């Protein structure tokens, strides 16, 4: 059990991607929950109180940018928001940043790059 419980919520409609990334982050010592819809993500963040949420911008029930706006409005700067997107270009990046997202990562997601945004565990 880690000394400090660092909780992360993964939000992606691809269940396999959630399970794979969850296993990798748990292997690194993080506590992880995941949600496959924006509605489930809102509930997971409220109940789990993570320090970070990784949000896929292409969700089926609510755009990930709008989800991020709602999470930022409710939790302020204490919740680190990382967008994960297959979208390309400056417009998608700017839209995400205007929604209060702290970092934007492109798919396919590199676990090594993602690890740079988390404190080391072990």
Looking up residue 71, the CATH number of its domain turns out to be 3.40.50.2300
Q: Is 114 helix (H, G, I), strand (E, B) or coil?
A: helix
DSSP 5: -
The more confidently predicted of residues 5 and 75 is 75
Evaluate whether residue 57 is within a structural domain: yes
pLDDT (0 to 100) of residue 118:
73
Mean pLDDT of the chain: 88
Structurally, how many domains does the chain consist of?
1
Q: Which domain holds residue 30?
A: 7-115
Q: 63 in a domain, yes or no?
A: yes
Residue 121 lies in a domain: no
Rounded to an integer, what distance in angstroms lies between the CA atom of residue 35 and that of residue 47? 12
pLDDT at 121 over 70: no
DSSP letter, residue 122: -
pLDDT at 33 over 90: yes
Any domain includes 56: yes
Give whole-number Cα distances, 120 to 3, 6, 105, in Å.
12, 10, 19
Residue 75 lies in a domain: yes
CB 105 within 8 A of CB 114: yes
Q: Do 33 and 42 contact (CB within 8 A), yes or no?
A: no
Confidence of residue 1 (pLDDT cuts 50, 70, 90): very low
**Res 2 pLDDT > 80:** no
Residue 1 lies in a domain: no
Q: Does residue 3 carry a pLDDT above 50?
A: no
| Position 70 in a domain | yes
């Amino acid at each position: 059990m880690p000394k400090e419980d660092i909780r992360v919520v993964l939000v992606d409609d691809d269940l396999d991607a959630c399970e794979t990334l969850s296993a990798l982050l748990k292997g690194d010592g993080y506590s992880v929950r995941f949600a496959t819809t924006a509605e489930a993500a809102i509930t997971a963040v409220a109940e789990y109180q993570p320090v970070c949420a990784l949000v896929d911008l292409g969700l089926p029930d609510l755009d990930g940018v709008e989800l991020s706006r709602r999470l930022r409005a409710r939790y302020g700067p204490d919740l680190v928001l990382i967008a994960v997107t297959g979208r390309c270009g400056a417009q998608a990046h700017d839209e995400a940043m205007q929604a209060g997202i702290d970092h934007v990562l492109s798919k396919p997601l590199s676990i090594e790059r993602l690890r740079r945004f988390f404190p080391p565990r072990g």
